Homo-oligomer: A and B are copies of this chain.
Amino acid sequence: MEEKKCKLLFKVEGGEDISVFASFGESLLDAAKRANLALDAPCAGNGTCGKCRVKLLAGSVKSEPNRHISPEEFAQGYRLACASAVVSDVTVLVPATARAYQNRIRVSGKGDVRERAVFENLQKELRAMGLEKDSGLELINLEIENPRGGDGMADRERLLRKIAGNFPGSSPLTGLMPDKIGFSLHALRKLPMALRLSGSAGYSGGESRPAENSVSSLTVLLRRESGTKTGVTILDLFPAGAASPPPVIAGLAIDIGTTTVSALMADLLTGEILAAGSAGNGQIRYGADVISRIIESARPGGLERLRRAVTEECLVPLIRDMSKTAGLLPENIYRVAAAANTTMTHLFMGVNPEYLRLEPYVPAFFESGALKSADMNLGVHPDAELILAPAIGSYVGGDISAGVFASMLFKKETLSLFIDLGTNGELALGNSEFLMSCACSAGPAFEGGDISCGMRATDGAIEACRIDADTMEPVITVIGAEGQKPDAAQKAVGICGSGLIDLIGELFRCGIINARGKFIREGKRIRRDEWGGASYVAAFARDTANGRDVALSEADIDNFIRAKGAIFSAIRTMLAVLDLGVEAIDDVYVAGGIGGGINMGQAIRIGMFPKLPAEKYHYIGNSSLHGAYAMLTARRAGEMVVEISRGMTYLELSTHPGYMDEFVAACFLPHTNGALFAEGEAAT
């Protein structure tokens, strides 16, 4: 019997219509995936996150009302794509809110203001350590004698002879043999025209025959190579002279997050930031967490699909847009440094990550070795060096080796705790003597994933909240454009990680929820649905940007409690291994997509962070990106990140005896062992 096929038409808000055939009974989400239409589905189609809401316009699907779709909404045609089986030809409206974050590229000149403050601090520190403007790239200006009839020297050899012979006396290049000079094909292709269009008097109007005894002026971009056959490589060249502005030598630092890819473009010679940008990781349509991605990678063609999703479909357009903002071409990017967790690094490189999730959890590689951008088709200068922060273990990646560098904890004699709240929770503990790391499956809750109204810390996110214990009325703070200080005019869209911590902390403080996260009071802000669940409405539809309530349900709180429990139990387990108490920790560095608005006191109140004085906590933003920036701008920083990664012990929690008990105990507000958080309120 021939299989019945149904014709689907997706009418995409703000995009083009997409048609695809679906098998009878296939979910709308799976059909969309096949049609390369990325719907937001951080729960990977389990029906729990409620983000893939679409609206049926014609035809029918098999689906039922659920906690994410009220009976009224159901009557209006709203459905979860993941929970709707196709049973006829169907036309479906895909609202912008249902589309995966991947399509949202954000680029600005300087980036988010609060991240920037953190970042400028790091820049100062790097300067103090002498770790800046040392990318190995330099510009030199040359005057090259033009050919005469019978001299018979080719352009390339003429240039090499000049560089080798006449390099400024003080330089280590003096007397360099032409054979020791590498020549990028990209530069070689530009050479004949660059020489003949140079601002010199040699050639007039692109004529082939130069004036007698004339010279051409060239600006040459060299990269000094460490310990290779070629002492230097000519990466690029530019006609010099009055009419030619000096070229900008740009570099790119990238943090490849499971959810979001962030990047900074810097002028490698001046250190100036040229552009900042972020884009959703295009892989998100294959699931929010690394495990879903690894499973997808094992399907036929999956590895290549995932590789393309993060390169061609995400990094390449992001780099193009950032270059435009900076007024450059992508080929003017001559060095790239990237940091990512171990799974993302494998997928970016197109290396099978399958054994990361199977016992005994073995990565294919920790260090990538020497790479150039052409290997990855990034569209930047093909011979740009591509430096990847090395991984430490299966679930502690280059984001942590780079992040630990950015935190500078490896330089301190005192003991520091480093917590990266990404889609996975990754932690490090140590000082200048030792370093230990571990990872816990916190899930994407800190970045707003798996939370029905969750979102990244960006415009429209509720990032802080106060609740009046009597009236239960909240005062919320919403992030304005470019991370500007809360803007009264900015309406809420959702809640980001720091907002979730605040909101749950306040609900708990006011006795609205109990230690298990269940609602124990009633009021106009408390809603109960027919499935027995309750929610707290932080912003009513009339006050939100999208006309829908921003509310936190018991299921959301449950997800968040598991996430914070994973973090706290990981901290406890690491301390236990070292036989240390919480009080041994001198500083805590909190990094990740949770947002700069994080209230450390609230995080302690809900039992996410250990009870320590508030001044010991430091928010350090996207430390993975900042570490990549350091590696980008200073070669020595890259070596230090390698040293950090090689010297760090990796603690595998999933098989560590005692971790599971710690986790279960931490899945309460604040903890089953209340004594850990007793003796008075922590400072807020």
In the complex, chain A residues 178-218 whose Cβ is within 8 Å of any chain B Cβ: 182-183, 185, 188-189, 191-193, 196, 208-209
- A-side binding surface: helix, strand, loop or mixed? loop
Known contacts A154-B363, A209-B360, A359-B208; A188/B351 CB under 8 A: yes
A228 contacts B by Cβ under 8 Å? yes
Q: Which residues of B contact A185 (CB under 8 A)?
A: 349-350, 371, 375
Binds B, one of A67-75, A143-151, A425-433, A484-492: A143-151
> Considering residues A149, A156, A192, which has the most beta carbons from chain B within 10 angstroms of its beta carbon?
A192
B188 pairs with A360, CB closer than 8 A: no
A152 pairs with B365, CB closer than 8 A: no
Q: How far is the CB of A540 from chain B (nearest CB, A)?
A: 51
Known contacts A364-B154, A375-B185; A149/B359 CB under 8 A: yes
B358 pairs with A208, CB closer than 8 A: yes
A393 contacts B by Cβ under 8 Å? yes
- Copies in the assembly, this chain: 2
B360 pairs with A192, CB closer than 8 A: no
A360 pairs with B228, CB closer than 8 A: no
A352 pairs with B192, CB closer than 8 A: yes
In the complex, chain A residues 150-187 whose Cβ is within 8 Å of any chain B Cβ: 150-157, 182-183, 185
A354 contacts B by Cβ under 8 Å? yes
A680 contacts B by Cβ under 8 Å? no
Q: Which residues of B contact A157 (CB under 8 A)?
A: 365-367
A370 contacts B by Cβ under 8 Å? yes
A226 contacts B by Cβ under 8 Å? yes
Closest residue of B by beta carbon distance from A375:
B185
Q: How far is the CB of A514 from chain B (nearest CB, A)?
A: 40
Q: Which residues of B contact A360 (CB under 8 A)?
A: 147-151, 208-209
Q: Which residues of B contact A371 (CB under 8 A)?
A: 185
Known contacts A182-B369, A188-B351, A189-B352; A363/B227 CB under 8 A: no
Q: Which residues of B contact A391 (CB under 8 A)?
A: 154
B189 pairs with A369, CB closer than 8 A: no
A355 contacts B by Cβ under 8 Å? yes
A149 pairs with B365, CB closer than 8 A: no
Contact of A364 (CB < 8 Å), options: B188, B228, B349: B188
Q: Which residues of B contact A148 (CB under 8 A)?
A: 360
A267 contacts B by Cβ under 8 Å? no
Question: Interface digits, A355-388 against B, CB 8 Å rule (1 contact, 0 not)?
Answer: 1001110111111111100110000001000000
A650 contacts B by Cβ under 8 Å? yes
> Considering residues A228, A362, A366, which has the most beta carbons from chain B within 10 angstroms of its beta carbon?
A362
Q: Which residues of B contact A209 (CB under 8 A)?
A: 358-360
Q: How far is the CB of A237 from chain B (nearest CB, A)?
A: 12
Q: Which residues of B contact A369 (CB under 8 A)?
A: 156, 182-183, 188
Closest residue of B by beta carbon distance from A353:
B192
Q: How far is the CB of A366 from chain B (nearest CB, A)?
A: 5
Q: Which residues of B contact A355 (CB under 8 A)?
A: 155, 192, 196, 208
Question: Interface digits, A649-680 against B, CB 8 Å rule (1 contact, 0 not)?
Answer: 01010010000000000000000000000000
A364 pairs with B152, CB closer than 8 A: no
- Inter-chain CA distance A351–B183, complex, in Å, is 13
Q: Which residues of B contact A192 (CB under 8 A)?
A: 351-352, 354-355, 364
Q: Which residues of B contact A352 (CB under 8 A)?
A: 189, 192-193
- Inter-chain CA distance A391–B360, complex, in Å, is 55
B189 pairs with A350, CB closer than 8 A: yes
Question: Interface digits, A489-511 against B, CB 8 Å rule (1 contact, 0 not)?
Answer: 00000000000000000000000
A230 contacts B by Cβ under 8 Å? yes
Closest residue of B by beta carbon distance from A369:
B183
A365 pairs with B156, CB closer than 8 A: yes
- Inter-chain CA distance A185–B364, complex, in Å, is 12
Q: Which residues of B contact A225 (CB under 8 A)?
A: 229
Q: How far is the CB of A414 from chain B (nearest CB, A)?
A: 27
Contact of A147 (CB < 8 Å), options: B182, B229, B362, B382: B362
Q: Which residues of B contact A351 (CB under 8 A)?
A: 188-189, 191-192
B229 pairs with A365, CB closer than 8 A: no
B230 pairs with A370, CB closer than 8 A: yes
- Inter-chain CA distance A363–B208, complex, in Å, is 12
- Inter-chain CA distance A652–B349, complex, in Å, is 50
Closest residue of B by beta carbon distance from A359:
B209
Q: Which residues of B contact A156 (CB under 8 A)?
A: 364-367, 369
Between A and B, 24 residue pairs with Cβ closer than 8 Å are: A147-B362, A148-B360, A149-B359, A149-B360, A150-B360, A150-B655, A151-B360, A152-B393, A154-B364, A154-B365, A156-B369, A157-B367, A182-B369, A183-B369, A185-B350, A189-B349, A192-B352, A192-B355, A208-B359, A209-B360, A226-B229, A228-B228, A230-B370, A374-B375
